[in-house]
Chains A and B, each alone.
Chain A
Amino acid sequence: MTIEARGVVKSFGAFKALDGVDLKVANGELLALLGPSGSGKTTLLRIIAGLEWPDAGEILFDGENALDRGARERHVGFVFQHYALFRHMNVFENVAFGLRVQPRRIRKTEAQIRARVKELLDLVQLDWLADRYPSQLSGGQRQRIALARALAIEPRILLLDEPFGALDAKVRKELRQWLRTLHHSINVTSIFVTHDQEEALEVAHRVVVMDKGRIEQVGSPSDVYDSPATAFVHGFIGESIMLPVEVTGGAVHLNGRPLDIAVEGGAAGASTLFVRRHDMLIGPADSGTLHGAVTHVRSFGPVQRAEIALTEGSTIEIDAPRDRELRIGDRVGLKPRHYRIFAGG
């Protein structure tokens, strides 16, 4: 099923949670809504689910108006951040709930319900927990039960609100892989909300980056990482060095000194130069276009992170290969390999 949002606006009192959002989700896609808290991503998800109503705009499922129907009639599987398992029901009954509340004429028989629940518990690999109560489960187990419960009604769309937000780092990693595999096997159009860029980039087919109730960019994980459309996206995804520059007369100036780099994009006047940490190449003091002295070095993983005080005044952090020896006090020259310049300070 395809999902389309057109000009969706939603305010809570004076706070504008969504400020005109347009989005198309393709059939069978796994999409991530990524943004800082307060960016409106959860509100958009809840509006698609029918748990919240927009002040203006349209939501279409397969081209049909979804706002005519309440949450109950939309056949949307929703997985809540804090699981929202029914605390007085055991795992089996939690998963069976959606099947038991169906209208009598289409309700499955008890045997069919049992078989379906068993199948779902097998799918999430927790059939051995059927008799437990939610309070007896770990966070990761609860999350998987919540997913099994949402899948029980054979939803046309699966929506997940910060599905791994409340879990510890190791469990998150495992569940990420698992969600990808699961989505591949059930192939239901799915949207998940996250504030964790790594999660979004690793799991989703496409990533929607949101800020202040607006969509900043929609694209594949490599699109949003390699070619950020806005200053916000560049700053939010991946770690960037940001330097305030002035673009005048076809040249880029840092603190009044021209830099030996081409003006990129249509920026003019006060602008910001964005460079990924690993795209800032480091060389001898007389090379490059930026100069400074190493003030701090930390080595971990495949890179070493150096803090460099630029002669132009700012201090930046760069990632350099481990094989280049850096010591505190070394004078170095720097040149950005890839960079973007966005208008605005």
Chain B
Amino acid sequence: MSIEMTLQRTPDGSARSLAESAARRDPRAEPAIVRVAIITLAIAFLSIFVVLPLVVVFVEAFGRGVVAYLSALADPEAWSAIRLTLGVAAVSVGTNLVFGLAAAWAITKFDFPGKTFLITLIDLPFSVSPVISGLVFVLLFGAQGFLGPWLQDHDLQILFAFPGIALATIFVTFPFVARALIPLMQEQGTQEEEAAISLGASGLQTFFRVTLPNIKWGVLYGVLLCNARAMGEFGAVSVVSGHIRGETNTMPLLVEILYNEYQMVASFAIASLLAMLALITLIAKTILERNIDGDMPHDD
């Protein structure tokens, strides 16, 4: 924010800044010293906790030059982790997109018993530690687990394999799409859908021609956050992955392993990819938020 100091001549000939007199008129304005102090505090905090770590990631990643950085990323183990992470993210975003749309649609367009309970359930992954979520899957699918013997009999591998990692990620990320859509759809109400139906549109036509275009920015917003979390998830995935090198390590898991082995460049090179994902997510999020605002109904 910039404070412009425009000088103007008052009738009695003394110069006074507009900003100053404006501040005097505005009953909500804080004294200059308070404003400066608060802004400085915020900037300092953000620098130490956000900007500095981000810089460190890139400095460490490029510490031995661009060639070392690129060869670290070209390593088969790194490559496998990138592929696994992209695959898991694709599956969980896809699943949660369908689930989130269905849940938001059901919750906002219909009244049914147990609605509040469903909303609470959707929020559950936010309130449970990801490690616990992972453990639940171990208890469910592990060798000593509830479904373990049955899975072994049928030669199905869930834990320590792609399905387990995907399941844990789906669980941890399932609130994002639904959470992005529920307030938006609640605000928009059901009148446009009613209008579409009374004009002869079928359920599917109503969904694709009326509902979906109205919430497209909200859907993208949810997908974006869901994707960021899916790629960055550590706790739940760590429990179910089994850390098989070159097979079940996702990018965040590989970062930790490499770091523990003092392979700083390799570790931070992978971390820099995740950091870039975060930056892109942040920018896209800002753009989407502006568009969602346009979808919110305004009073006449």
Contact = CB atoms under 8 A, between A and B. Distances in A.
Closest 10 CB pairs of A and B: A98-B199, A84-B191, A101-B201, A84-B195, A78-B198, A88-B213, A101-B205, A71-B197, A71-B198, A84-B192
A152 B196 CA distance: 12
Given A80-B191, A82-B191, A101 B209 contact: yes
A241 B10 CA distance: 63
A139 B199 CA distance: 21
Q: Chain A contact residues (Cβ within 8 angstroms of B): what range?
A: 20 to 34
A208 to B, nearest CB: 22
B13 interface: no
Contact of B200 (A72, A86, A135, A139): A72
A163 interface: no
Given A86-B210, A139-B300, A149 B191 contact: no
Contacts of A26: none
A222 interface: no
B194 interface: yes
Contacts of B28: none
Contacts of A84: 191-192, 194-195
A142 B298 CA distance: 14
Contacts of B213: 88
B297 interface: yes
Nearest to B213: A88
A115 to B, nearest CB: 18
Interface in B150-191: 191
Contacts of A152: 199
A76 B202 CA distance: 15
Contact of B198 (A51, A82, A87, A142): A51
B300 A153 contact: no
Interface of B: 191-192, 194-202, 205, 209-210, 213-214, 295, 297-298, 300
A166 interface: yes
B195 A80 contact: yes
A102 interface: yes
A77 B198 contact: yes
A258 B79 CA distance: 103
A97 interface: yes
A207 interface: no
A252 to B, nearest CB: 50
Interface string A46-85: 0001110000000000000000001110111110101011
29 contacts: A51-B197, A70-B197, A71-B198, A72-B197, A72-B200, A72-B202, A77-B198, A80-B194, A80-B195, A82-B191, A82-B300, A84-B194, A84-B195, A86-B210, A86-B214, A87-B214, A87-B297, A88-B213, A97-B199, A101-B196, A101-B199, A101-B201, A101-B202, A101-B209, A139-B300, A149-B195, A150-B199, A153-B199, A166-B300
Contacts of B199: 97-98, 101, 149-150, 152-153
B201 A72 contact: yes
A88 B295 CA distance: 8
Given A50-B198, A86-B214, 8 more contacts: A70-B197, A74-B198, A80-B195, A86-B195, A87-B214, A87-B297, A88-B214, A166-B300
Contact of A97 (B202, B209, B214, B298): B209
A101 B198 contact: no
A87 B213 CA distance: 9
Contacts of A49: 198
- Name the residue among B195, B214, B297 with the largest chain A CB count within 10 angstroms: B195
